[in-house]
């Protein structure tokens, strides 16, 4: 996949390309390299030692950024890979225990909805559905059914099940993202 700046570089003026070379810290390494290549293509080459110095400067910046990210992970999850893995497991377990415990309490303490005293739900009648369709079309009927389903997720026993599924999703997402950070980091 080509980056957007790669298609933009050839359209820039020479002064704009020199901006990439003179102030490289504000740009990605690839963008600066593309600007240098475009300048050379136009016949404005840089001395080899200036080009080498530029690459070293950008490399140091990128290494410092990666090191800062590594320190953040180490500071947050632990200094060693084993400690980070253990903490990721502990936090994931905590999310599961708290979330599933809350879901269980919600499910067990929820009141069962009493039946409608009329013996039926007026919103389920053919006349009601026909009126919905007549005034808003089939999309109105589908939107109303979707809205009733969505609102039903947050009431009664269904709320407990909703919290349980959200807990499982959150725990998996945390574990997936955090465990991907752990192996990449070296012990600091």
The pair of three-digit structure tokens given for residue 126, joined into one six-digit string: 């053919």
Mean pLDDT (10-residue bins), the chain, 188 residues: 68 82 77 82 80 81 71 70 86 97 95 78 86 92 92 92 97 90 47
Which sequence spans correspond to the domains of the chain? 4-74, 79-181
Flag whether the pTM goes above 0.85.
no
Q: Give the pLDDT confidence score for residue 123 in this predicted structure.
A: 82
Query: What sections of the chain are H helices per DSSP?
Result: 4-8, 14-22, 29-41, 48-77, 81-109, 126-152, 156-181
């Amino acid at each position: 996949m080509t980056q957007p700046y790669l298609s933009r570089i050839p359209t820039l003026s020479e002064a704009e390309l020199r901006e990439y070379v003179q102030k490289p810290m504000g740009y990605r390494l690839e963008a600066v390299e593309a600007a240098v290549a475009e300048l050379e293509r136009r016949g404005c080459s840089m001395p080899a030692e200036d080009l080498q110095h530029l690459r070293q400067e950008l490399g140091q910046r990128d290494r410092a950024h990666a090191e800062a990210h590594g320190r953040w992970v180490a500071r947050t999850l632990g200094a060693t890979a084993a400690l980070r893995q253990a903490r990721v497991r502990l936090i994931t377990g905590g999310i599961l225990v708290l979330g599933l415990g809350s879901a269980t309490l919600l499910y067990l303490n929820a009141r069962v909805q009493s039946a409608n005293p009329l013996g039926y739900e007026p919103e389920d009648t053919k006349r009601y559905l026909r009126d919905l369709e007549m005034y808003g079309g089939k999309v109105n009927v589908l939107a109303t059914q979707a809205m009733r389903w969505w609102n039903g997720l947050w009431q009664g026993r269904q709320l407990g099940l909703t919290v349980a599924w959200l807990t499982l999703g959150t725990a998996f997402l945390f574990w997936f993202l955090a465990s991907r950070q752990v192996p990449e980091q070296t012990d600091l």
